[in-house]
Amino acid sequence: MSDAEAAPPPPSLGKLFWVFLVMGATSLGGGVVAYLRTGLVVRQRWLDDLTFVELLSISQTLPGLNATNMSILVGDRLRGGMGALVATLGMCLPGAILMTGAAFAYGIGGDDPWSKAFLHGIAAGAVGLIVVVMVQLGAKVLKTPADYLFVAATAAAVAFFKVSVPIVLLAAGAIAIWWHRPRDRDSKGDPK
């Protein structure tokens, strides 16, 4: 959000629970990041893209599911500890109920070729949603050629050299701090 746009007031706990409940019930697999961005940045305007990317970065560096971690971070940012609790419950409750039912159904018909074809299609759709979010956020966050180099180096380290994700993120963060450090300052820290 720009400085000219006023941030909306924090949502009620009920609204926070409901929005995360809907996102938890309608997001599929890897597509959850797209649903989170659409729900939190575009529809509700509770976050701007930069804040969303910052919280997503934190959630991806911590153990656990990105959606759960994002629920905790966003809920806490908007309504404190109780907000974190209700957002997390909203996000996790639909999945817990649906996965219990899906596990039961898969136990009955998991070898059915139609079931396998359906799951294959859902997986492809989830990858497509990830690509859309990557392009949308990349256009807003990646500003310099060095930013694109960080993306390529991170992807190559994980995909081709099998470097652990936490190690890659820590290294990329350290290098980015050095690269984006304030420059052209005198001994007092003032710009020259």
If asked whether residues 125 and 147 sit together in one domain, one would say no
If asked whether residues 57 and 149 sit together in one domain, one would say no
The two structure tokens encoding residue 18: 């409901």
If asked whether residues 85 and 180 sit together in one domain, one would say no
If asked whether residues 33 and 86 sit together in one domain, one would say yes
- Check: CB of residue 130 under 8 Å from CB of residue 33: yes
Task: Provide the pLDDT for residue 30.
Answer: 61
Mean pLDDT (whole number) for 12-17: 98
Residue 95 lies in a domain: yes
Strand partners, 191: 185
Task: Provide the pLDDT for residue 82.
Answer: 98
Residue 7 lies in a domain: no
Closest by CA position to 46, among listed 88, 83, 81? 83
Task: Provide the pLDDT for residue 192.
Answer: 53
If asked whether residues 44 and 105 sit together in one domain, one would say yes
- Check: CB of residue 85 under 8 Å from CB of residue 74: no
Residue 134 lies in a domain: no
DSSP string, 39-93: IIIIIS-SS-HHHHHHHHHHHHHSSS-HHHHHHHHHHHHHHHHHHHHHHHHHHHH
Give 91-146 pLDDT, tens digit per residue: 999 989 988 887 777 777 667 788 778 777 877 887 888 888 888 888 888 888 98
If asked whether residues 151 and 65 sit together in one domain, one would say no
In terms of Cβ atoms closer than 10 Å to its own Cβ (0-12, 13-18, 19+), residue 49 is: middle
